[in-house]
A and B are shown apart, each in its own frame.
Chain A
Amino acid sequence: MDSPTATGSGHGAGHYVRIWAVLLGALVVSLVLGAITNSPWAIAIIFAVATAKAALVLAHFMHVKLEPRWIRLIGAGAVAVVGVFFIGLVPDIVYKFGFVPGGIQSAQANPANTVAKLPPDAGRGATVYATFCLACHQADGRGKNGTLAADFVSDASRLAKPDSELLASIANGRQANGLSMPPWKDALTAQQRADALAYIRTQFGRKP
Chain B
Amino acid sequence: MLWDLPRALSSFASDIDRHMALIYWICGIWFLVAEAVLLWLAVRYRQSAHAAAGWLPGDTRSTNAWVLVPAALVLVCDMVIEFDSAVVWAKVKETTPPAELTVRVQGRQFAWVFTYPGPDAKFDTLDDITAAGTLRVPVGKVVKFELEAADVLHAFYVPELRLKQDAVPGRRIPGWFDVLQPAELTIACAELCGASHTYMKGTLLALPPAEFDQWLAAQSAPPPSTPPTATR
The short answer to whether A and B are in direct contact, CB under 8 Å, is yes
Residues of A near any B CB (own CB < 8 A): 96-100, 103-108, 110, 112-113, 117-118, 124, 127-128, 130-132, 134-136, 148-149, 179, 182, 186-189, 191-192
- Min distance, Cβ A113 to any Cβ of chain B, angstroms: 8
Cross-chain contact B132 with A132 (CB below 8 angstroms)? yes
Chain B: residues with Cβ within 8 Å of the partner, total of 38
The residue of chain B having its C-beta at the shortest distance from the C-beta of A143 within the complex is B196
- Does B3 belong to the interface (CB within 8 Å)? no
CB distance from A178 to the nearest CB of B (A): 10
The reply to whether B150 and A187 contact each other, CB–CB distance below 8 Å, is yes
| Alpha-carbon distance A177/B227, docked complex (angstroms) | 38
Which of A99, A107, A132 has a CB less than 8 Å from the CB of B130? A107
Q: Mark B111-139, 1 if CB is under 8 A from A, else 0.
A: 10101000000001010101011000000
Interface residues of B (CB under 8 A from A): 104, 106, 108-111, 113, 115, 124, 126, 128, 130, 132-133, 148-151, 168-174, 195-196, 199-201, 225-232
Q: Which single member of B148, B195, B200 contacts A104 (CB below 8 Å)?
A: B148
Given contacts A108-B130, A135-B110, A187-B113, contact A127 B170 (CB under 8 A): no
How far is B128's CA from A187's CA once the two chains are assembled, in angstroms? 15
Given A128-B230, A135-B196: A103 and B110 within 8 A (CB)? no
* Chain B residues, CB < 8 A from A135: 110-111, 196, 199-201
Residue of A nearest to B150 (CB): A106
Known: A100-B170, A107-B132, A110-B126. 5 other contacts (CB 8 A): A103-B170, A108-B230, A110-B124, A127-B132, A135-B196
Bound complex: CA of A135 vs CA of B154, how far in Å? 15
Chain A residues lying within 8 Å of B104, measured Cβ to Cβ, are: 107
Query: Quick check: A136 and B150 within 8 Å, CB to CB?
Result: no
Residues of B near A134 (CB, < 8 A) are 199
Could you tell me the distance between the alpha carbons of A136 and B200 in the complex, rounded to whole angstroms?
9
A99-B110 Cα distance, complex, nearest whole Å:
23
Let me know if B199 and A100 touch, CB within 8 A: no
> What is the CA–CA distance of A96 and B106 in the complex, to the nearest angstrom?
19
Distance A178 CA – B151 CA, assembled complex (angstroms): 19
B150 x A186 contact (CB < 8 A): yes
